[in-house]
């Protein structure tokens, strides 16, 4: 539990944004008074939870991790992608969960690509304006390619004529 961390201990840091794993030396741990948490809209009061503020040396500089729930082994600050873990086991569990989440996302990419392609086909069938825009775009691409080919042929013909001794303006 983070409440058991003491000065001089090692915290394990997982940075999900730049995909790094570091260690931080604990400089100071300041426990807070347990705070009561209220549900939105005047809902039921939840049991109090103690938080800790940990000051540590991380990446060569001093950082402060504010209001970490003291009864957890690891806490993620989603705003900056930093996960603070009390030990290697908690860090390993966080990395495994992170990998599982990413694997799930990657496994769905083909499904979303197929869904998007299907939607494109349906839009073209149901929306005549969209179909005309696609046809116009395709025609413009064909015309552009043909224009590039004509310019290439013109250059080839010019080179051929020059090699035969014909100059511009000479017959």
> Tens digits of per-residue pLDDT, 59-106?
777 778 777 777 878 878 777 777 888 888 888 898 899 899 999 999
CA distances from 87 to 14, 94, 95, 149, 160 (A): 12, 11, 13, 65, 76
How many CA atoms does the CB half-sphere of 130 hold within 13 Å? 9
**Cβ distance 69 to 47 under 8 Å?**
no
Backbone φ, ψ for residue 54 (5° rounding): -115, 125
pLDDT tens across 120-150, in order? 888 888 888 888 888 888 888 888 898 888 8
pTM: 0.56
Choices 2.60.40, 2.30.30, 3.40.50, 3.30.200: CATH for 2-35+47-101 = 2.30.30
Asked if residue 13 has pLDDT above 90, the reply is: no
Confidence label for 5 from pLDDT (cuts 50, 70 and 90):
confident
């Amino acid at each position: 539990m983070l409440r058991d961390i003491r000065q001089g201990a090692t915290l394990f840091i997982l940075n999900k944004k730049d995909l790094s794993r570091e260690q931080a030396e604990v400089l100071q741990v300041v426990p807070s008074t347990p705070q009561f948490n209220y549900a939105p809209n005047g809902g039921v009061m939840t049991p109090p939870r103690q938080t800790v503020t940990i000051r540590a040396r991380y990446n060569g500089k001093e950082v402060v991790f504010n209001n970490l729930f003291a009864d957890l082994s690891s806490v993620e600050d989603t705003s900056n992608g930093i996960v603070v873990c009390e030990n290697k086991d908690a860090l390993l569990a966080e990395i495994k969960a992170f990998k599982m989440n990413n694997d799930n996302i990657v496994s769905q990419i083909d499904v979303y690509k197929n869904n998007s392609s299907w939607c494109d086909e349906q839009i073209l069938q149901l929306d005549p304006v969209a179909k005309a825009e696609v046809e116009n775009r395709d025609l413009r691409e064909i015309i552009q390619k043909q224009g590039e080919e004509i310019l290439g042929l013109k250059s080839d013909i010019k080179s051929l004529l020059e090699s035969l001794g014909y100059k511009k303006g000479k017959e």
